[in-house]
């Protein structure tokens, strides 16, 4: 280790090794990622009995499958015979899950169905013990309103208590549907970034970076709004131009910090334009929830939320990102959008326009941020200078969860305090 754990984080100051030491990263795997609840997929990706989804839990291959009883179960994606992957495709549908190597097959509940030439096992401990030779279930696996999470730790808080108040952001995504149903839309984008996973997370409610970092895309977008040939180009320009919030505006924008490192931030982009499409959508929503219900649901209006340690959602744009830390300096980000079932096509187009503008590999806004993250990671290689700070509003706001603003670094301190708690806990 570059430095003792006691020096990693205290009172708004972190040691740079927290972001660059491979040994710290190895310990994060054991004590944080393998303990916390990690997002692994959505129920709409395994809609019918026999549907399966290949996924990963930290660095281990897993597979999710829906049974004839309607239940989704999670298993390690590994054959009990000689260890081959069972699911090779990203997703599919199968009557039986069959290993392609020697043909062992399994039912949707993971039980062993058949072994070719089973008599060859006579006299071994496999003979007569077939129930012990099924697929290995994940230690913990749970759904929160269709969002599937798993944990490699056999014990710990249940998913709902783990999420706590940040769950409102997942509730909100589901409630935005007039049918109470949402579905992953298409496949995913993935971006591999050359920075520690925490560098990405620590940017997400950072109101102080928006103006200096995004100035070039803001300027271009402000001009484009005037000249936009159609509604969608204008919307995309508006989304980019809205990053031009002054520090004073950002200091008014509420951020909530919750237990377990979670947090969310209110919206600074207008999300209820006065257009026929929006009116049609709100009427459809009112038929299910009533007019008070519409105000309550659309009033949640969060720009984004962090479900610590690796998930972030933008409920008002139906967008979800999962961080997959690959090594201490490399992070993959998987990006999905959701379709609001029962909503007019216009609202779906808005969702798509937002993601194309902000989150895809071709986004001008994202390129600004990626450049920053890489610069941070490179700067941190200067070993003679050990510390970084997250002290903005440090004296004004107490430690731990509580109310904050987009100009404060309290949500980062809340993350690092949570991180230290995990890292200190031996298992």
Any contact of residue 182 with ligand FES (CB under 6 A)? no
Task: Return the range that interacts with ligand FES (CB under 6 A); candidates 95-103, 177-185, 393-401, 413-421.
Answer: 95-103
**Whole-angstrom Cα distance, residue 417 to residue 260?**
9
Task: Return the range that interacts with ligand FES (CB under 6 A); candidates 31-39, 94-102, 208-216, 273-281.
Answer: 94-102
Any contact of residue 99 with ligand FES (CB under 6 A)? yes
- The residue (of 54 and 236) whose beta carbon lies closer to ligand FES is 54
Residues 258-317 that bind ligand FES (CB under 6 A): none
104 binds, options ligand FES, Fe ion, none, Cβ within 5 to 8 A by partner type: ligand FES
Give the one residue of 102, 194, 287, 375 binding ligand FES; rule: CB under 6 A: 102
185 binds, options Fe ion, ligand FES, none, Cβ within 5 to 8 A by partner type: none
Radius of gyration of the chain (CA): 23
Which of 309, 292, 193, 303 shows the shortest CA–CA distance to 249? 303
Any contact of residue 204 with ligand FES (CB under 6 A)? no
Smallest distance from Fe ion to CB 198, Å: 16
# binding residues, ligand FES (CB under 6 A): 9
| Burial of residue 395, with CB atoms counted within 10 A of its CB: 0-12 exposed, 13-18 middle, 19 or more buried | exposed
- The residue (of 102 and 291) whose beta carbon lies closer to ligand FES is 102
Phi then psi for residue 355, to 5 deg, are: -65, -40
Smallest distance from Fe ion to CB 126, Å: 55
Smallest distance from Fe ion to CB 130, Å: 54
- The residue (of 318 and 370) whose beta carbon lies closer to Fe ion is 370
Smallest distance from ligand FES to CB 123, Å: 19
| Residue 403 bridge partners (DSSP) | 256
Any contact of residue 101 with ligand FES (CB under 6 A)? yes
Task: Return the range that interacts with ligand FES (CB under 6 A); candidates 17-25, 51-59, 100-108, 385-393.
Answer: 100-108
- Classify residue 136 by its DSSP letter: P
Any contact of residue 79 with ligand FES (CB under 6 A)? yes
> Could you tell me whether strands 402-405 and 38-42 are parallel, antiparallel, or unpaired per DSSP bridges?
unpaired
**Whole-angstrom Cα distance, residue 133 to residue 113?**
10
- The residue (of 108 and 198) whose beta carbon lies closer to ligand FES is 108
- The residue (of 103 and 290) whose beta carbon lies closer to ligand FES is 103
- On whether the CB atoms of residues 73 and 148 are closer than 8 A, the answer is no
202 binds, options ligand FES, Fe ion, none, Cβ within 5 to 8 A by partner type: none
- The residue (of 39 and 104) whose beta carbon lies closer to ligand FES is 104
Q: Provide CB contacts within 8 A for 37, sequence distance 6+.
A: 140, 142, 149, 150, 151, 156, 159, 162, 163
**Whole-angstrom Cα distance, residue 148 to residue 27?**
25
Any contact of residue 82 with ligand FES (CB under 6 A)? yes
Cα–Cα distances in Å, from 3 out to 8, 118, 300, 305, 383? 8, 55, 43, 32, 12
HEC secondary structure over 296-328 = HHHHHCEEEEEECCCEEEEHHHCEEEEEEEEEC
Smallest distance from ligand FES to CB 46, Å: 22
Q: Which two tokens stand for residue 142?
A: 């749970």
Residues 400-419 that bind ligand FES (CB under 6 A): none
**Whole-angstrom Cα distance, residue 341 to residue 318?**
12
- On whether the CB atoms of residues 81 and 102 are closer than 8 A, the answer is yes
Smallest distance from ligand FES to CB 79, Å: 3
User: 268-295 burial by CB neighbour count: b if 16+ within 10 A, else e?
Assistant: bbeeeeeeebbeebbebbeeeeeeeebe
82 binds, options Fe ion, ligand FES, none, Cβ within 5 to 8 A by partner type: ligand FES
369 binds, options Fe ion, ligand FES, none, Cβ within 5 to 8 A by partner type: Fe ion
Cα–Cα distances in Å, from 258 out to 252, 313, 408? 19, 15, 15
101 binds, options ligand FES, Fe ion, none, Cβ within 5 to 8 A by partner type: ligand FES
- On whether the CB atoms of residues 264 and 277 are closer than 8 A, the answer is no
- The residue (of 95 and 270) whose beta carbon lies closer to ligand FES is 95
**Whole-angstrom Cα distance, residue 323 to residue 312?**
8
305 binds, options Fe ion, ligand FES, none, Cβ within 5 to 8 A by partner type: none
| Site residues (vs ligand FES, CB under 6 A) | 79, 81-82, 84, 99, 101-104
């Amino acid at each position: 280790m570059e430095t003792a754990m006691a020096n990693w984080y205290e009172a708004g100051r972190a040691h740079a090794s927290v972001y660059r030491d491979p040994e710290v990263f190895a310990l994060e795997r054991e004590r944080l990622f393998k303990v916390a609840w990690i997002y692994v997929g959505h129920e709409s990706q395994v809609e019918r009995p026999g549907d399966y989804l290949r996924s990963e839990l930290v660095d281990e291959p897993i597979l999710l499958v829906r049974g004839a009883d309607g239940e989704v179960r999670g298993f390690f994606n590994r054959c009990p015979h000689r260890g081959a992957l069972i699911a090779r495709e990203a997703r599919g549908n199968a009557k039986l899950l069959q290993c392609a190597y020697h043909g062992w097959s399994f039912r949707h509940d993971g039980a062993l169905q058949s072994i070719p030439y089973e008599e060859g096992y006579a006299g071994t401990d496999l003979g007569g013990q077939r129930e012990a030779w099924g697929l290995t279930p994940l230690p913990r696996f749970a759904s929160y309103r269709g969002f599937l999470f798993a944990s490699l730790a056999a014990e710990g808080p249940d998913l709902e208590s783990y999420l706590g108040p940040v769950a409102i952001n997942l509730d909100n995504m589901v409630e935005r549907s007039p049918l109470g149903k949402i579905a992953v839309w298409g496949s995913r984008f993935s971006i591999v970034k050359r920075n520690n996973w925490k560098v990405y997370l620590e940017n997400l409610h950072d109101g102080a970076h928006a103006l200096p970092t995004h100035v070039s895309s803001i300027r271009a977008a402000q001009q484009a709004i005037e000249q936009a040939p159609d509604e969608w180009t204008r919307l995309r320009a508006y989304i980019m131009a809205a990053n031009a919030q002054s520090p004073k505006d950002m200091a008014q924008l509420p951020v909530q910090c919750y237990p377990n490192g979670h947090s969310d931030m209110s919206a600074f982009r207008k999300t209820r334009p006065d257009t026929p499409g929006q009116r049609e959508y709100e009427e459809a929503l009112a038929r299910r929830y009533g007019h008070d219900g519409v105000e309550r649901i659309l009033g949640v209006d969060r720009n984004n939320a962090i479900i610590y340690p690796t998930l972030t959602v933008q409920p008002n744009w139906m967008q979800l990102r999962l961080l997959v830390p690959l090594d201490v300096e490399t992070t993959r980000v998987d990006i999905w959008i959701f379709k609001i079932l029962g909503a007019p096509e216009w609202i779906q187009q808005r969702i798509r326009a937002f993601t194309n503008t902000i989150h895809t590999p071709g986004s001008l806004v994202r390129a600004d941020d990626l450049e920053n993250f890489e610069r941070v990671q490179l700067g941190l290689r200067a070993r003679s200078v050990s510390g970084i700070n997250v002290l903005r509003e440090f004296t004004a706001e107490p430690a731990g969860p509580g109310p904050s603003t987009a100009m404060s670094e309290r949500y980062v301190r809340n993350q690092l305090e949570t991180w230290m708690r995990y890292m200190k806990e031996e298992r």
